[in-house]
Structure 1
Amino acid sequence: MRAHAKTFFNDSDREAIRAAVADAEKTTSGEIAIMAVNQSDSYLEAATLGAVLLAGTLGLVLEFGLTALFRAVQVWTHDASSSTLGIIAEYADYVSLWTYIPIVFLMYFPLKALVHAIPALKILFLGRRRIDEAVRERALRAFYEKGLHRTRDETGILIFISSLERKVWILGDRGINAKIAPDFWKTLAGELAGGIRAGRGIESATRVIARCGEELSRHFPLKPDDVNELPDTLLTEE
């Protein structure tokens, strides 16, 4: 799954999305918007936790490795007190917490920078609830930032795709929620997310858009004076 929202769908995909939204809105006064973002949060705590765990684990590996090396030198050295190898071997008695802590400290900062620079690594150190909350909050913010709450009859819906988390969230305005249960949108969001993970992103997106249009048409049929209040094109982060 591509992590950058602007390359999430290619040009032909974007045109297919625009056409799907336009077709879906032909029989309803509801407004459909679809948006893709790189990630829903910076997840700074994940970089910190990841660095601590990685530094701690690698520190233990190095610690045991140094201990094994020094112990081996002791075995190989017949007269530990009269050779250079013997002097090194004596350090085996000092490979402990006093060496482990500095090793972890030295590795922590470069590892934190590494985890922060590679968003896919951060996901490994996040819980499912944290990810779900981040995507939901980012989708809600996008709903207001893109003006979906300003439609005439409060009938806007947002199909929100967060690339890094491989999550989809669908939000409806108050007019929508008064007639359509949130579980319907949750089901569609799950289908789209599953399609994206399976490499069928554009097919799943156009199918979900069509189903949104069908459901909106049942509750919010097209009005004679209907106007297109939201863009049909795929929205992305600036």
Structure 2
Amino acid sequence: MAAVPSAAAGPVANGRRLGVIDKDAQNRIETAIAAAELRSRAELVAVIAGRASDYRATGIALSTIGAFLAGIVVWAWVPWSDTSRVLLTEFATFIVLLAVLELTPLGDRLTPGHVLHTAAQRLARAIFLEQGLARTLERNAVMFFVSVAERHVEIIADEAIDAKVDQAQWQGIIDAFTDKVRTGALEAGYIEAIAALSKVLATHFPANGERVNAVSNRLIRL
């Protein structure tokens, strides 16, 4: 399996939320995949994940640091504090901070960008393998992947496609896909990327009559 150039979409512009993929939007994405597959022999799959990881390590680390600092403050600034009071403060601070970081978007925002990027990439590659996209007869499967919490956009192609499609073409498609996600146009991002890539695939893997749809066209939700 070979991965095409990929890009994390980064923070959504102007604080916009990503567009919602409801049933109608899902149907339109699946229709776009079906139409694209009529033009070539490639297998196309779209995947949307709510998040790639729970990033519990971030919450635990930051809560531990916060609890330690709270204990120092109590010990230094509260004259009547004793060991039990300091420990109680640290415990309470840890629980409160952990709850906030786990139950709100703050934990994701405080997680380093490279950690978010790596988690999303790992999930994308795991899904590519789990869905059997690296086992198609012509090694010509493509997956369009978005992880919402990480604002991560990626296209992964198997080796036959990666070997034939020009690097500049890949980058243009992924950049346009990423830009759509940044503005909140999630559905449009999928559909336009699928349409753009289908034109390229029709050149390298033209349809040759009746074909077997080896992979379902349904949008995969995680």
TM-score per shorter chain, which class? Answer: 0.7 to 0.9
Residue type of the alignment partner of 2:99: A
Cα deviation code 1:48-98 (max 9, x no counterpart): 1332354467x39975xx95xxxxxxxxxxxxxxxxxxxxxxxx5567999
- % identity of equivalent residues: 20
Work out the CA distance in 2 between the residues paired with 1:10 and 1:110: 35
Distance 1:210 1:169, change over 3 A: same
Residue type of the alignment partner of 2:96: P
Correspondence 1:11 to 2:23: yes
Partner residue of 2:97 out of 111, 135, 139: 111
Partner residue of 1:157 out of 122, 142, 146: 142
What is the aligned length?
206
Distance 1:40 1:183, change over 3 A: farther
Work out the CA distance in 1 between the residues paired with 2:167 and 2:83: 54
How far has the Cα of 1:123 moved from its partner?
A: 1.6
Work out the CA distance in 2 between the residues paired with 1:51 and 1:122: 10
Work out the CA distance in 1 between the residues paired with 2:68 and 2:172: 41
Correspondence 1:175 to 2:160: yes
Partner residue in 2 for 1:80: none
Cα deviation code 1:167-225 (max 9, x no counterpart): 11110011111112566445433432331231211122211110111111121111234
Partner residue in 2 for 1:79: none
Summarize the alignment of residues 34-73 of structure 1 with structure 2, pairs less than 5 Å apart.
34-55=46-67, 59=70, 67=77
User: Which segments of 5 or more consecutive residues in structure 2 lack a partner in the other structure?
Assistant: 1-16
Work out the CA distance in 2 between the residues paired with 1:54 and 1:220: 56
Partner SS, residue 170 of structure 1: strand
Bigger proportion of residues as helix: 1
TM-score norm. by structure 1 comes to: 0.74
Distance 1:146 1:121, change over 3 A: same
Partner residue of 2:133 out of 119, 129, 148: 148
User: Which segments of 5 or more consecutive residues in structure 1 lack a partner in the other structure?
Assistant: 68-91
> Whose Rg is larger?
1
Work out the CA distance in 1 between the residues paired with 2:145 and 2:81: 52
Distance 1:28 1:201, change over 3 A: same
TM-score norm. by structure 2 comes to: 0.79
Partner residue in 1 for 2:14: none
RMSD in angstroms over aligned alpha carbons? 2.9
Work out the CA distance in 2 between the residues paired with 1:208 and 1:8: 17
Residue type of the alignment partner of 1:125: L
Work out the CA distance in 1 between the residues paired with 2:186 and 2:72: 41
Work out the CA distance in 2 between the residues paired with 1:100 and 1:190: 52
Partner SS, residue 36 of structure 1: strand
Partner residue in 2 for 1:214: 199
Cα deviation code 1:34-54 (max 9, x no counterpart): 001111122121111332354
